[in-house]
Structure 1
Amino acid sequence: MSTEPTPLLSVEGLAVMRGDTHILRRIDWRVERGQHWAILGANGCGKTSLLSAITAYLTPSSGEIVFDGDAYGETDWNEVRLRIGIVSNALTRRIPPGEDALNTVLSGGTAQLGFWTRSKSIPTDKALRCLGKLGVRHLAERRWEVLSQGERQKVFIARALMADPRLLILDEPCAGLDPVAREHFLTRLRKLAALKNGPAMILVTHHVEEIFPEISHVLVLRKGRVLAAGPVGEALSSETLSQAFGAPLALERDRQGRLRLVV
Structure 2
Amino acid sequence: MYVAIVKVEDIQFTRDDNQILQDITWDIEKGQQWGMLGLNGSGKTTLLSIISTYEIPSSGEVEVLGKRFGSAYLPELRKKIGFVSSSLEKFSDYFWNESIERIIISGKFASFGIYDEIIAEDWIRADYLVKEFRLEDVKGKKFRLLSEGEKRRVLIARALMGNPDLLILDEPCSGLDILAREQFLEALKIATENNVHLVYVTHHIEELVPEITHVLLLKEGKIVASGPKTEVLTDELLSETYQVPVTIEWHAERPYLSMK
What range is the shorter-chain TM-score in?
Answer: over 0.9
Shift of 1:118: 4.0
1:121 aligns with 2:119: yes
For structure 1, the 5+ residue unaligned runs are none
The structural deviation recorded for 1:138 is 3.2
- Measured against aligned partners, the alpha-carbon deviations of 1:165-221 in whole angstroms (never above 9, x if no partner) come to 00111110100101121112111213432x1x4211110101110000110000000
Pick the aligned partner of 1:36 from 33, 39, 44.
Answer: 33
| Equivalent position amino acid for 2:150 in 1 | E
Percent identity over paired residues: 39
Give per-residue Cα distances to partners, 1:125-151, cap 9 Å, x unaligned: 111112222222332201111111111
Q: What secondary structure does 2:256 align onto?
A: strand
Aligned length: 255
Displacement of 1:246: 1.1
Counterpart among 230, 233, 240 of residue 233 in structure 1:
230
Provide the residue aligned with 2:148 in structure 1.
Answer: 149
Amino acid aligned to 1:186: L
Whether the 8 Å CA contact 1:106–1:118 is kept in 2: the answer is no
Q: Which residue of 1 aligns with 2:56?
A: 59
**Partner residue in 1 for 2:220:** 223
> Contact 2:86–2:173 at 8 Å: present in 1 too?
no
Q: Cα distance, 1:97 vs. partner?
A: 1.4
- What secondary structure does 1:73 align onto? coil
Partner of 1:259: 255
- How far apart, in 2, do the equivalents of 1:257 and 1:153 lie? 24
Residue 171 of structure 2: aligned partner: 172
**CA–CA distance in structure 1, aligned partners of residues 23 and 76 of structure 2:** 26
State the partner residue of 1:190: 189
Displacement after TM superposition at 1:231 (Å): 0.2
Task: Return the alpha-carbon distance in structure 1 between the equivalents of residues 167 and 233 of structure 2.
Answer: 22
Q: CA-to-partner distance for each residue in 1:42-93, whole Å, 9 max, x for gaps? A: 1110000001111221221001110121101211101100110001123222
Q: 3-state SS of the aligned residue for 2:11?
A: strand
Q: Secondary structure at the match of 2:240?
A: helix
Normalised by the length of structure 2, the TM-score is 0.94
Cα deviation digits, residues 90-122 of structure 1 (max 9, x gap): 32222431111001011111111124x242326
Question: Which residue of structure 2 aligns with residue 15 of structure 1?
Answer: 12
Contact preservation (8 Å) 1:238, 1:250: yes
User: SS of the residue aligned with 1:241?
Assistant: helix
Give the counterpart letter for 1:226 in structure 2. I
Deviations 1:16-48 (A, max 9, x none): 011321100011000011110000001110000
CA RMSD of aligned residues (A): 1.4
Distance 1:164 1:55 in 2: 15
Contact 1:168 1:202 in 2 (8 A): yes
Q: Could you tell me which amino acid in structure 2 is paired with residue 257 of structure 1?
A: E
Contact 1:190 1:212 in 2 (8 A): no
